[in-house]
Amino acid sequence: MKTDVDYEKELTKLRRQQLDTGMQLREEIKNLGNKVTDMNVVIETLQQALDRAKVSLKDKDKDYVFNHSAKWASGWSLKDYDYNI
Cα separation values, 46 from 3, 30, 41, 81, 82, Å: 64, 25, 9, 18, 21
Terminal CA-CA length for the chain: 47
pLDDT value, residue 84: 58
pLDDT value, residue 23: 92
Q: What are phi and psi of 2, to 5 degrees?
A: -80, 145
List, for residues 44-79, the tens digit of each pLDDT value: 898 898 888 888 888 888 888 888 888 888 888 777
pLDDT value, residue 82: 65
- What pTM, to 2 d.p., does this model score? 0.63
pLDDT value, residue 12: 92
